[in-house]
Amino acid sequence: MDVTIQHVNKTFGQKKVLHEIDLTIPSGRCVALVGPSGSGKTTLLRLIAGLEKVSSGAIHFGATEMTRVAPNQRGVTMLFQRPLLFPHLTVGQNVRLGMKAGHKQEVEQWLDRVGLSGRADAFVHELSGGEQQRASLARALASRPNFLLLDEPFSSLDLPRRRELRTLIRRLTEAQGVTTLLVTHDREEAMAMADYVYVMEQGHIIDQGNPVQLAEKSPFFGDGVHLSGEW
């Protein structure tokens, strides 16, 4: 299902933080929202998640206006900067929480997919930061979401772990056909992961294109970016 955002404005009190945002996330694709801190990325993500209301404009999931879909029918799941796991539960129990009817075997399959085979009975504190983030990803995808919203999901990780998780997320979301929005201040990350990139500044979309178009347009975008090779 496509997500379509049309003429969206968002105001907090007197402060206008989003101006006439138009954006589409085509079904099954990965779109990135990149821009400096305070440019409005997280606010837009929270609007799509239904955690905030638009001041004006519309968000559609497919043909249906978002507010007409009950929150538990939206199929939206999020992955944040820090892994969100219940520390008093095992890794397997955390993953199972994401499922409607979780069987042990299916939990194992998800752990396999994220490279955590045999760790179902470990407690969360026994995992490294990168492993916890992968367990969070397993839980998020085990819920079979239509939409995955990623809010700076790599920022607590070192570069090799970051690259590893990027590749893993792309591989799994492509395999499951999950429509993905990535919010990041890291241009390289946006370029490496997304099919299409929107650039935000002070609540406006100031540029957009696929990674190749953006690299051609702005040499800054091309800096140190390997458009192929990583996956």
Interface with ligand ADP (CB under 6 A): 12, 15, 17, 35, 37-43
Comparing CB distances to ligand ADP, the nearer of 79 and 91 is 79
Comparing CB distances to ligand ADP, the nearer of 43 and 93 is 43
CB atoms within 10 A of CB 41: 25
Q: Cβ 126 to ligand ADP, closest distance in Å?
A: 32
CA nearest to 41, candidates 62, 65, 59, 23: 23
Q: Cβ 40 to ligand ADP, closest distance in Å?
A: 4
Contacts 24+ apart (CB under 8 A), 160-164: 161/129, 161/130, 161/133, 162/189, 163/230, 164/130
Cα 4 from Cα 91, distance rounded (Å): 35
Q: Cβ 155 to ligand ADP, closest distance in Å?
A: 12
Q: Cβ 144 to ligand ADP, closest distance in Å?
A: 27
Comparing CB distances to ligand ADP, the nearer of 10 and 29 is 10
Comparing CB distances to ligand ADP, the nearer of 41 and 139 is 41
Q: Cβ 220 to ligand ADP, closest distance in Å?
A: 18
Comparing CB distances to ligand ADP, the nearer of 12 and 231 is 12
CB 25 within 8 A of CB 179: yes
Cα 54 from Cα 87, distance rounded (Å): 34
Comparing CB distances to ligand ADP, the nearer of 35 and 98 is 35
Comparing CB distances to ligand ADP, the nearer of 13 and 118 is 13
Kind plus residue range of the DSSP H or E element containing 63: none
Q: Identify any residues that bridge with 78 across adjacent strands, giving them in sequence order.
A: 149
CB 177 within 8 A of CB 146: no
Report the sign of the C-alpha dihedral through residues 197, 17, 183, 145, in that order. negative
Report the sign of the C-alpha dihedral through residues 88, 90, 93, 97, in that order. positive
Cα 73 from Cα 132, distance rounded (Å): 27
Q: Cβ 206 to ligand ADP, closest distance in Å?
A: 13
Residue type, 7: H
Q: Cβ 61 to ligand ADP, closest distance in Å?
A: 21
